[in-house]
Amino acid sequence: VVLVLVKLHVTECFKKIGQRQPLNIFAAQEIDRLQVVLVLVKRTLQDLKLAIAGTIVMSAELQEALDNLVDARVPSRWVAVSWPAPNMGLWFSELVQRYHQLNDWMEKDRPPKYWLTGFFNPQGFLTSVRQEVCRAHARDGWSLDGMQTKSDVLKQEKHEVERGAAEGVYIYGLFLEGCSWDKPRQKCKESAPKEMVKELPVVHVTGIEASHRQGRKKGDLNKFMCPVYKYPARNDINWIFDCELNCEEEVHHWIMRGVALLCTTD
């Protein structure tokens, strides 16, 4: 069953939780993009049902969609408005997860933690976070142009987070490639044999004025600015932001190992 979000209902829900707040504006934009996917999927399946019954002509587009679905692949028209996936099962599972995250946000209020992989525009999500932090510090003279993203890896797993952050947001769903994570000591470590990726605990992401960022003190661990990518293909298009990871070794040690964070390993 494909659920379609009703525009009027969406507007009314966001009026209740604050439709002018940057993160809620972002959520409304994400819902609009997900709506395009849901409408296309629903229309394609309805037309396929009619074409198979002989009620309408089986067009080339419908035939291509049918062939892909039979082979458990995602139709190219669906990928064009959504996201890539190796098979239909993973794609549909992500569709359901995205729907539930946005629908719960709309119906109940902001979630205590966010699944970063489930956003079409994760860069826009982080921009909205910086905007809200900047507004909270307006009296301190903070400006959006001078804001930087600040991140800290926590010890909590996603199921342990029940309340949202006092400032900023909690995100999850990031996977370390090229190294592992020492959870008790909260730092990078070498990967175990045959360990390709390691899921990172919850990450606290917020914004900070560049002039307020403190330098490294004596005895502190090094900070590796680890690039976060939306998909395994590492390029400028898929880059989201740089996440701060603690490490004892020099930063170039992990750069030479090609360490990165991925939102999905598929």
Burial of 196 (0-12, 13-18, 19+ CB in 10 A): exposed
Q: Which residue has the tokens 């080339």?
A: 60
Question: Average pLDDT in the 79-107 region?
Answer: 92
Q: Which residues pair with 163 in a beta bridge?
A: none
pLDDT by residue (tens digit) across 17-66?
666 789 988 998 999 899 999 999 999 999 999 999 999 999 999 999 99
- Sign of the Cα torsion 36, 38, 44, 47 reads negative
Structure tokens at 64: 């291509």
Does residue 1 surpass a pLDDT of 70?
no
In this prediction, residue 2 has a pLDDT band, given cuts at 50, 70 and 90, of very low
| The pLDDT of residue 165 is above 70 | yes
The beta strands (E) that lie in 85-237 are given as 114-115, 147-153, 169-172, 175-177, 180-182, 187-189, 197-199, 203-209, 222-229
Evaluate if residue 73 carries a pLDDT over 60: yes
Kindly report which listed range (18-22, 175-179, 210-214) carries the lowest average pLDDT score.
210-214
Question: Could you tell me what percent of the chain has a pLDDT over 70?
Answer: 89
Q: pLDDT: is 257 or 1 the higher one?
A: 257
pLDDT category of residue 106 using cuts at 50, 70 and 90: confident
Is residue 78 classed exposed, middle or buried when 0-12, 13-18 and 19+ CB atoms within 10 A define those classes?
buried
At residue 209, the pLDDT reads 85
The mean per-residue pLDDT over the stretch 83-111 comes to 91
| pLDDT digits 0-9 by tens, 4-16 | 555 556 666 666 6
Cα of first residue to Cα of last residue in the chain, in angstroms, is 25
Q: Share the mean pLDDT of the chain.
A: 88
Distance CA 164, CA 135 (A): 18
Nearest Cα to 77, choosing from 48, 56, 98?
48
- Written as one letter, the residue type at 97 is Q
97 to each of 152, 179, 249, 259, how far by Cα in Å? 25, 28, 37, 27
Higher pLDDT, 120 or 194: 120
CA distance 151 to 171: 10
Q: For the full predicted model, state whether its pTM sits above 0.85.
A: yes
Q: State the SS3 of 157-189.
A: CHHHCCCCCCCCEEEECCEEECCEEECCCCEEE
Task: List the strands of the sheet with 239-247, edge to edge.
Answer: 197-199, 175-177, 260-262, 222-229, 239-247
